[in-house]
Amino acid sequence: MRTNYGLPFIGWIVWIVLFSGCSTVTTPTPTTAPTTGNLSGIKDYLLGQTRALVTATADLQTASNRYYDLAQATNFDYASLWQNQQREVIAALNAAREAWITASPIYEKMEGIVAATLALAQFDVDLDAGAAGNEDPENAVSFDLVLPDGRTLPKPGNLFGVTESTLWGTDPAFAASVTKAGSA
């Protein structure tokens, strides 16, 4: 069934649309200062994400410590380590990569809250957004990375970035050097 509303009906619609935009809208003036409202949902969300991040990064630390223990047992002779314990090295690196793949998106889900909260913003710089000091001093992380052998990497970049580069070998500064057995 077809309804023919005709020109008068369409005319009314056009008139309403055109003139509704011309009406004066008054916004009431607040009589009191705005309140922050109930932020408990945001707090609960952030705490839940934080708990998940703690679990994922603990798994990352466990896998990283396993790799470190393997390397230390060979006096950091990476060629020998690879030659003699390849299966264990692969298992430790894969476990660390899997933990990183879990942890990074968890942090991304909470990053907006962390970065936008003045008291927490530096955590975002250090964890995920900060640059290396030699690349962008104004947006650099706030820490130096001291290695177990005593070397210091000054403001190397954010922790997720350094860890990712280390696990996937994308930055030579964070990769083990393997040239021949007995050298690192």
The string of pLDDT tens digits covering residues 87-135 is 999 999 999 999 999 999 998 888 888 888 888 888 888 988 888 888 8
Indicate whether 75 belongs to any domain.
yes
Indicate whether 114 belongs to any domain.
yes
Q: Choose among 75, 64, 60: nearest CA to 149.
A: 75
Indicate whether 165 belongs to any domain.
yes
Residue 150 tokens read as 């005593």
Q: Choose among 123, 124, 125, 153: nearest CA to 139.
A: 125
For the chain, give the mean pLDDT. Answer: 79
When divided into structural domains, the chain yields a total of 1
Give the predicted TM-score (pTM) of the model.
0.70
Nearest-angstrom CA–CA distance, 115 and 107? 11
Indicate whether 80 belongs to any domain.
yes
DSSP string for 102-168: HHHHHHHHHHHHHHHSTTTHHHHIIIIIPBPTTT-GGGB-S--EE-TTS-EESS---HHHHHHHHHH
**Looking at the chain, how many residues does it have?**
184
Q: Is residue 23 very low, low, confident or very high in pLDDT (cuts 50, 70, 90)?
A: very low
**Residue 34 is which amino acid?**
P
Nearest-angstrom CA–CA distance, 159 and 157? 7
Indicate whether 179 belongs to any domain.
no
Which helix (H) or strand (E) segment is 78 a member of?
Answer: helix 78-116
Give the rounded percent of residues in the chain with a pLDDT score beyond 70.
76
Residue ranges making up the domain that contains 125: 40-174
Place of tokens 């793949």: 101
